[in-house]
Structure 1
Amino acid sequence: MTAPRTVLLTGAAGGLGTLMRELLPPYGYRLRLFDRRPVEGEPDAITAELADTRALREAVRGVDAVIHLAGISLEAGFEEIVRANIEGVHHLYEAAREAGVRRVVFASSNHAVGFTPRPADGSGAIPVGAPRRPDTYYGLSKGFGEDLASLYWDRHGIETVSVRIGSCLPEPASVRMLSIWLSPADCARLLHAALTAPDVGHTVVYGSSANTRLWWDLSSARALGYDPQDDSEPYAEALLAAQGALDPANPGHAHLGGTFCTDPPRWQH
């Protein structure tokens, strides 16, 4: 697939969207921005809810691909999650189908498999085909998004790469994040690979850097042409000294989803 020239970036005002607004254009993309909040410094950005199907149809018109980051990124009430993350992603795919957009990159999450026990070491042992075990309504909605993407590939021929993002921050903030950290630069590399790889159909990949303590298998991401350059290990000594090692008896340490697996869930990606 030739590199798309114009890409709709939903969720452009969010933390990840803000990082990608800076890091994706050097790959040759012209970004069209969409968010429910105004995007600071971007007067041409489209400000609308995902429920605004007219605005979504205008947003996708003439774009080559979509990077869908919009929606609720933490746990919330079931009705809120349904509106933003389930109905919202359906509106997005319907708009893409009507406009003839052939490629979507969907921001899924590690929380779609959050109750998967973490490996005891950095073995990268969790395959992308492991059964989904969502840890929250949020994680449940990401599994729905992956299935919707699969449906729109089989029924309508829209290709999607669903990226189960770990923690995309400038640096990891916890010992758990040493295993799932995705540096912003590597995130841009992964999104570029997802936009340009040929014949992806519907592909699910984990999104992280090449971390020494990696918990999951990056082979499906690497098959797209993703070549991660960063590793969380330089941050390990300070984080371990401040927080201590992960305790397998602690529910927030024992599972892939971290504190999303506690009751009530707590919010560190």
Structure 2
Amino acid sequence: MPAPRTVLLTGAAGILGTLMRGLLPSYGYELRLFDVAPIKDAPEGSTVITADLADRDALREAVRGVDAIMHLAGISLESTFDKILRANIEGTYNLYEAAREEGVRRIVFASSNHTVGFTPRPQGDDPLIPIGTPRRPDTYYGLSKCFGEDLASLYADLHGIDTVSVRIGSCFPAPTSVRMLSVWMSPEDGARLFHAALTAPVTGHTVVYGSSANTRLWWDLSPARALGYEPRDDSEKFAAALIAEQGELDPANPAHANLGGPFCTDPPIWPY
């Protein structure tokens, strides 16, 4: 499909949203920024909307006239079920309803590796984790991302809204843990993947993993590559320093044994 010109970026004040609002304009996008938190350093020419996902009138106004939506908004760590329900589940439903009402036909949904968090991580010669592995959410947060993927599937089948759900690993300028060496996505690779997801000629609901081409990669990136994504970065340059500081992952440690890492402990251990 042709590159969308105007993209609504929800969660634009968050960590990932801040990174993407700085990188995506170089791909030719005009960004419309949406967040409940004020955005004081928005790129020149972008429109800023300060509102909550629960405000359906404001959300519909934000969606009106855009070519596509990148949905990053919501709670990105574990929280109480009530808070996750309001922000991640009801908020995502409100967004899809606004898209349906306004005729938007492409959404990129920020899903998460925590949809399959209790999947054992690969070790030794184990194969990479495929995109079709059964979902095993590790938290209410992961559960909300499972809901978002299913909602995207429903709206694709019922209403013709095409969604690419990206099961993001950890998108930061540099990995901060040994676990993150396997799931890290550089901001630049993140922008490459989101651009591919916004423009790839796919229909229906597509799910991909999102990370860089890490030497210690745990999951299969071929579905993302099928969109046209070509990752250029690798976390291995950070490995020696992180391993010297934290040690190698211990398969006997519940926070190291599964894909979701510390999210698989009760309560989840931070940082992750």
- Whole-Å separation in 1 of the counterparts to 2:124 and 2:195: 30
Match of 2:242, as an amino acid?
L
| Alignment CA distance shift 1:37-1:52 (3 Å) | same
Task: Report matched runs for 1:36-75 at 5 Å.
Answer: 36-42=36-42, 44-75=47-78
Match of 1:95, as an amino acid?
A
Q: Is the 8 A contact 1:124 1:214 kept in 2?
A: no
Q: Which residue of structure 1 lines up, in the alignment, with residue 27 of structure 2? A: 27
Q: Which residue of structure 2 lines up, in the alignment, with residue 220 of structure 1? A: 223
Match of 2:155, as an amino acid?
Y
- Whole-Å separation in 2 of the counterparts to 1:123 and 1:187: 26
- Whole-Å separation in 2 of the counterparts to 1:85 and 1:109: 12
Cα deviations by residue, 1:153-174 (Å, 9 ceiling, x for unpaired): 0000000000000000000000
Tell me the TM-score normalized by structure 2: 0.97
Are 2:183 and 1:177 equivalent residues in the alignment? Answer: no
SS in 1 for 2:216: coil
TM-superposed CA distance for 1:124, in Å, is 5.8
- Whole-Å separation in 2 of the counterparts to 1:264 and 1:240: 25
**Gaps (5+ residues) in structure 1?**
none
Q: Which residue of structure 1 lines up, in the alignment, with residue 4 of structure 2? A: 4
Are 2:167 and 1:164 equivalent residues in the alignment? Answer: yes
| Alignment CA distance shift 1:68-1:202 (3 Å) | same
- Whole-Å separation in 2 of the counterparts to 1:193 and 1:211: 19
Percent pairwise identity: 75
Cα deviations by residue, 1:198-250 (Å, 9 ceiling, x for unpaired): 02321000000000000000011000000000000000011111100000000
| Alignment CA distance shift 1:27-1:122 (3 Å) | farther
Q: Which residue of structure 1 lines up, in the alignment, with residue 209 of structure 2? A: 206
Match of 2:148, as an amino acid?
G
Cα deviations by residue, 1:60-104 (Å, 9 ceiling, x for unpaired): 000000000000000110011000000000000000000000000
- Whole-Å separation in 2 of the counterparts to 1:246 and 1:259: 12
- Whole-Å separation in 1 of the counterparts to 2:50 and 2:76: 18
SS in 1 for 2:17: helix
- Whole-Å separation in 2 of the counterparts to 1:139 and 1:59: 27
Q: Which residue of structure 1 lines up, in the alignment, with residue 115 of structure 2? A: 112
Q: Is the 8 A contact 1:33 1:46 kept in 2?
A: yes
Q: Which residue of structure 1 lines up, in the alignment, with residue 241 of structure 2? A: 238
Are 2:142 and 1:139 equivalent residues in the alignment? Answer: yes
Q: Which residue of structure 2 lines up, in the alignment, with residue 15 of structure 1? A: 15
Q: Is the 8 A contact 1:108 1:146 kept in 2?
A: yes
Tell me the TM-score normalized by structure 1: 0.98
Q: Is the 8 A contact 1:102 1:157 kept in 2?
A: yes
Q: Is the 8 A contact 1:251 1:262 kept in 2?
A: yes
Structure 1 runs of 4+ aligned residues shifted over 3 Å read 121-124
- Whole-Å separation in 2 of the counterparts to 1:115 and 1:6: 37
